[in-house]
Structure 1
Amino acid sequence: MLQRLRQYALLVRLHRPVGILLLLWPTLWALWLAADGFPDPLVLLIFVAGVTLMRSAGCAINDFADRHVDGHVTRTRDRPLATGQIRPTEAVLVAMFLALIAFGLVLMTNALTVALSFVAVLLAATYPFMKRFHHLPQVHLGTAFAWGIPMAYTAQTGQMPDAMAWVLFVATILWATAYDTMYAMVDRPDDLRIGIKSSAILFAEHDRWVVGLLQLAVLGLLSLVGWQLGLGGFYFAGLGIALLLAAYQQWLIKDREPALCFRAFLNNNSFGAVIWLAIVLEVM
Structure 2
Amino acid sequence: MSASTLPDTPSRLSLYLNLIRWDRPAGTYLLLWPTLAALWIAAGGFPGWHLLVVFVAGTFLMRSAGCAVNDVADRDFDKHVKRTAQRPVTSGAITPKAALVFGAALALIAFALVLTTNLPTIAWSFAALAVAIFYPFTKRFFSMPQAVLGVAFSFGIPMAFAAVRGEVPMLAWQLLIGNLFWVLAYDTEYAMVDRDDDLQIGIKTSAITLGRFDVIGVMLFYAAYLAIWGVLGAQLGFGWGYFAGIAIAAGQVLWHFTLIRERTRDGCFKAFRLNHWVGFAVLAGVLIGKL
* TM superposition score normalised by structure 2: 0.95
Match of 2:237 among 205, 224, 230: 230
- Contact 1:40–1:156 at 8 Å: present in 2 too? no
Partner of 2:283: 276
Q: Indicate the residue corresponding to 1:197 in structure 2.
A: 204
| Residue in structure 1 matched with residue 226 of structure 2 by the alignment | 219
1:111 is matched with which residue? 119
1:36 aligned partner: 44
Q: Which of 146, 151, 166 is the matching residue for 1:143?
A: 151
| Displacement of 1:267 | 2.3
Tell me the amino acid that sits aligned with residue 247 of structure 1: L
Counterpart position of 1:21: 29
- Tell whether the 8 Å contact from 1:183 to 1:261 is kept in structure 2 after alignment: yes
Counterpart check, 1:255 vs 2:262: yes
Residue identity opposite 2:101 in structure 1: L
Specify the alignment match of 2:59 in structure 1. Answer: 51
Give 2:5's aligned residue: none
**Aligned position for 2:181:** 174
In structure 2, C-alpha distance between the alignment counterparts of 1:122 and 1:278, rounded to whole Å: 31
For residue 134 of structure 2, what is the aligned residue in structure 1? 126
Shift of 1:26: 0.7
Q: 1 CA distance for matches of 2:47 and 2:191? A: 35
Match of 2:88 in 1: 80
- Unaligned 5+ segments in structure 1 are none
* Secondary structure of 2:79's aligned partner: helix
Task: State which structure, 1 or 2, has the greater radius of gyration over its C-alpha atoms.
Answer: 2
CA distance in 2, matches of 1:2, 1:220: 46
Aligned with 2:74 (options 66, 79, 97): 66
The Cα RMSD (Å) is 1.1
- 1:250 and 1:259 mapped to 2: Cα distance? 13
Q: Where in structure 2 are there 5+ consecutive unaligned residues?
A: 1-8
> Aligned residue pairs: how many?
283
CA distance in 1, matches of 2:250, 2:240: 15
Aligned-partner Cα distance in 2 for 1:166–1:57: 24
CA distance in 1, matches of 2:169, 2:132: 24
Please tell me whether residue 100 in structure 1 is matched to residue 108 in structure 2.
yes
**Counterpart amino acid of 1:149?**
I
Relative to structure 1, the CA distance from residue 2 to residue 182 in structure 2 (aligned partners, 3 Å threshold; closer, same or farther) is: closer
Alpha carbons 1:249, 1:267 under 8 Å: kept: no
Moved runs in structure 1, 4+ residues, more than 6 A? none
8 Å CA contact retained: 2:154, 2:179 = yes
Letter in 2 for 1:251: T
Equivalent-residue separation in structure 2 for 1:98 and 1:168 (angstroms) = 27
- Taking a change above 3 Å as real, the CA distance of residues 2 and 184 of structure 1, as seen in their structure-2 partners, is closer
The residue identity in structure 2 corresponding to 1:44 is L
One-letter code aligned to 1:254: R
SS at match of 1:72: coil
TM-score by length of 1: 0.98
Find the aligned partners of 1:29 and 1:266 in 2 and give their Cα distance.
20
Cα distance, 1:138 vs. partner? 0.5
